[in-house]
Amino acid sequence: MASSPVIGVLALQGDVREHLRALSDCGAEPRSVRRASELDGLDGIVLPGGESTTMDKLARAFGVRDPLRAALRAGLPAYGSCAGMILLADRIVDGRPDQETLGGIDMTVRRNAFGRQVDSFETDVDFAHVEGDPVHAVFIRAPWVEQVGDRVEVLARVEDGPAAGRIVAVRQGALMATSFHPEVTGERRVHGLFVQMVLQMIKERS
């Protein structure tokens, strides 16, 4: 089994450095990805937070959207946080008319579901497959998941407040997504879980 999987971070917009640091802390070899050629040799990829419509446009402009979509369909593991969750969704509510996603997770996601920037908040959530204390989650103009298909595992929900019960973390096969930003709080267990997912995929292929 590879000890240091090569995991890219889509570096078009958003909190790229924080994800690179988190992956490194979890034992992966991180790599910034802007072009299709930089997908070669990756064992997995992270789709960071940012602005989902801007990321969609930049992915098209840099010529990376269609090759990345094909790589995901071919089994490349991916983790999307916030805007990255929207990119991995098969369906969007309140998206722009021309907005497209990479897809891959059978879910419906609502953009900016928790409100505007001033409505950003923090809370603790119980996260499946993550040991220890609850995960401290930071929501910044975050989406939530309104509906999931039968093959999607719900990993976390908001536990109290006006959004209690809303789905904020999911997994389907090699794809994982969260509404929140573990990379900005120093939380490493979510990235660690993704690295373990990638390592398991490498093991199954070998």
Catalytic residue among 181, 187, 191, 204: 181
Give CA–CA dist 59/87, Å, rounded. Answer: 11
Task: Answer yes or no: are the C-beta atoms of 157 and 167 closer than 8 Å.
Answer: yes
Report the candidate in 36, 33, 37, 44 with the shortest Cα–Cα distance to residue 5: 44
Catalytic residue among 18, 19, 38, 183: 183
Both tokens assigned to 117: 């920037």
129 catalytic, yes or no? no
**CA torsion, ordered 173, 48, 42, 132, to nearest 10 deg:** -60
What's the first-to-final CA gap in the chain, in angstroms?
8
183 catalytic, yes or no? yes
191 catalytic, yes or no? no
Give CA–CA dist 83/142, Å, rounded. Answer: 8
Question: What are the residue numbers of the active site?
Answer: 82, 181, 183
